[in-house]
Chains A and B, each alone.
Chain A
Amino acid sequence: MEMVVCIKQVPMVSELPWDPATGTLKRDLAEGMMNPACRHALEAALQLKARHGGRITALTMGPPMAEEVLRQALALGADQGFLISDPAMAGSDTFVTSFILATAVKKYCPNFDLVLCGCYTTDSETAQVGPQLAEELDLPAAAFVEEIAKKKNCLIVKRLSDGFIETLEMDLPGLVTVSTRHYAPRYFSLAGIEDAFPDAAPIRTLSAVDLGLERGSIGVQASPTRIVNVYTSRTEKQNVILRGAPKQIVEELLDRFGDRIGGAMGKDIEK
């Protein structure tokens, strides 16, 4: 099976590199990481490859440092990688991103059977690129997929959708976006990545020119959406502020608001 896995490098959001054992931030880790759902998509592809053979192409669009996630994909078992990187692409929204990815797939992996994407990214969570890529490539598609099996020329996919457990049969070529529930990603050591491909990693960088994309069709200017304002959300109320020793705080809390709390519980709290 010929597979393309679309991977995004996302910033290490504060909550992720947190060590649950010690409660501290894992600051030693690099600043970008492979988006978790994309790791699950890659894992799904690796399992399909192990069972049915084939090749995996990892595809990412991003700044030059995004090459890192391709190296990780290669270290895990992908066969080749494409880094789509061009300053002219900066600021592309999902509409344009899916167009660029589709252009690369058509040009460099035209014989694919399956495209796999993470169902969403931790940095924006729009979940839009996968379904839009399916439109661009005119493919049948299933989003938020949890299990994938190949049966003859079809895929059988399972997913949870709005409280329904669905089993779907999809013709190939097709596209799936993979959820973070089922395909627990295999471990790789960061140190091993460089060693896996010392000099000639099978990674190619593609620019807008390589893809035959005109400037007017990519980046901010081609994106239908515009960000007009960014600000912090402020919701301040006139509130009661309690400070001091925990015991005193708690006494004051129950003295003043015990009725209210007790009311919600359906029990009495003594004053």
Chain B
Amino acid sequence: MKQKLEIWVFGDYRNYFQNRVTLQLIGKAVELAKEIKATVCAVVIGHELDEWIGEYIAHGARRVYVVEDPVLKEYDAATYAFLTARLAEVHKPDILLVGATSFGREFAPRVAKRLKTGLTADCVGLAIDQDSLLVQTAPSFGGNLLADIVTPKQRPQMATVRPGIFREIPHNYEAKGKIIRMPLPIDLSSRRLRLRKSERQPHQSKKLEDAAIVICSGRGIGSRKKFNNLYELAGLTDAEVGATRPLVYAGWAGHDSLVGQAGKIIRPKILFSFGVSGAIQHTAAVNDAEFIIAVNKNPKATMMKMADVAIVADAGQVCSALIRELKKRIR
């Protein structure tokens, strides 16, 4: 009898409380597993892992592969890739999902190379097709298009996904899971890459991510001066200002204000979007805004189609008019 298929999710626990991508992937895996009758499994590597094993089971993993040893205390892409590939060679998962954190983006390609399989980066959608293949949807050609990508022959089918794309399922601490431990296959104490120092980056403000109102601007705002006017509007509305990549590259806005795949994911109650075309790398990060008010000269821009209110007009003029009107009306 054919063994039951497995969907694996790599357990990236380093920033567990801020970055829920592993849980989001487990949530997605649970959905996918129904269609191919697979078991959802997590892979956890490191030292003192009980807490994470418990969390992953509570969030939907039915089986957890564990490699635990003091020498694995520090995150190390090469070592973790070696061990994950070893586990995969033995247990042959059908699918392996990895969060696109800095670590995941270095680790996943190495695992894929070792397993001689394909990998799709930064997927914005995952689904199962009629041949039971994993359809990995990723932005392509500079973001104006989406591509559906499959890995027809090699296994596992691998994909990375940025945080915030999928939703985690609520925990259930009653849930049970099987834990399978693998001892270290070789001595891993001498390394060619050694971590000498690791310190937490000074606290980064989470203003954009947490803001109830975000005013996001794109190239259509027209000039630096008009862009700076948005800060006045932000002051009036207690909003944070975000920007698309061209503005960040131009130096009008800092990298901290970049909204999109390469920057921040936001979910404000209200998003004002001024002169933004709506490339997928940007929209993937604003999908969860509750109410979108977009201003664009072009009514056909993707951002306008996503918007709840689409204002066909000049971005700079609407900004000025809004500032004037709000000054009159805010109490």
Contact = CB atoms under 8 A, between A and B. Distances in A.
Interface in A234-267: 234-237, 239-244, 246-247, 249-251, 253-254, 257-258, 260-267
B181 interface: no
A264 B201 contact: no
B165 to A, nearest CB: 14
Interface in A124-139: 124-132, 134-136, 139
A246 B309 contact: no
B102 A161 contact: yes
Contacts of B261: 125
Grouping DSSP codes into helix (H, G, I), strand (E, B) and loop, the B interface class, with mixed when no group exceeds half, is mixed
A162 B103 contact: yes
A152 interface: no
A144 interface: yes
B49 interface: no
B121 A126 contact: yes
Given A131-B110, A174-B192, A264 B305 contact: no
A167 B197 contact: yes
A109 interface: no
Nearest to A156: B196
B193 A11 contact: no
Interface string B115-151: 0111111100000000000010000111011111111
B237 interface: yes
B26 interface: no
Nearest to A261: B270
Contacts of B197: 165-167
Given A135-B110, A135-B114, A160-B102, A125 B121 contact: yes
Interface stretch (A38-46, A80-88, A221-229): A221-229
Nearest to B299: A241
B4 interface: no
A15 interface: yes
Contact of A250 (B223, B244, B325): B325
A164 interface: yes
Given A160-B102, A246-B317, A266 B310 contact: no
Q: How large is the interface on A (under 10, 10 to 19, 20 to 34, 35 or more residues)?
A: 35 or more
B15, B197, B304: residue with the most chain A Cβ atoms closer than 10 Å:
B197
A250 B318 contact: yes
Given A141-B78, A169-B194, A228 B321 contact: no
A268 interface: yes
Interface string B252-287: 100000000110000011100000000010010000
Interface in B181-210: 191-201, 204
A241 B146 CA distance: 27
A265 B237 contact: yes
A95 interface: yes
A236 B196 CA distance: 51
A132 B106 contact: no
B201 A165 contact: yes
B309 A163 contact: no
Contacts of B135: 228
Given A134-B110, A265-B237, A127 B105 contact: yes
A206 interface: no
A122 B200 CA distance: 28
17 contacts: A93-B118, A125-B261, A128-B108, A132-B109, A161-B103, A165-B199, A167-B197, A168-B196, A224-B154, A226-B149, A227-B147, A231-B145, A233-B302, A237-B306, A242-B309, A251-B325, A270-B329
The 3 nearest A-B residue pairs measured at CB: A224-B118, A20-B250, A140-B192
Interface of B: 14-15, 18-19, 75, 77-78, 81, 101-103, 105-110, 112-114, 116-122, 135, 140-142, 144-154, 191-201, 204, 212-213, 219, 222-224, 237-239, 244-246, 249-252, 261-262, 268-270, 280, 283, 291, 293, 299, 302, 304-314, 317-318, 320-322, 324-326, 328-331
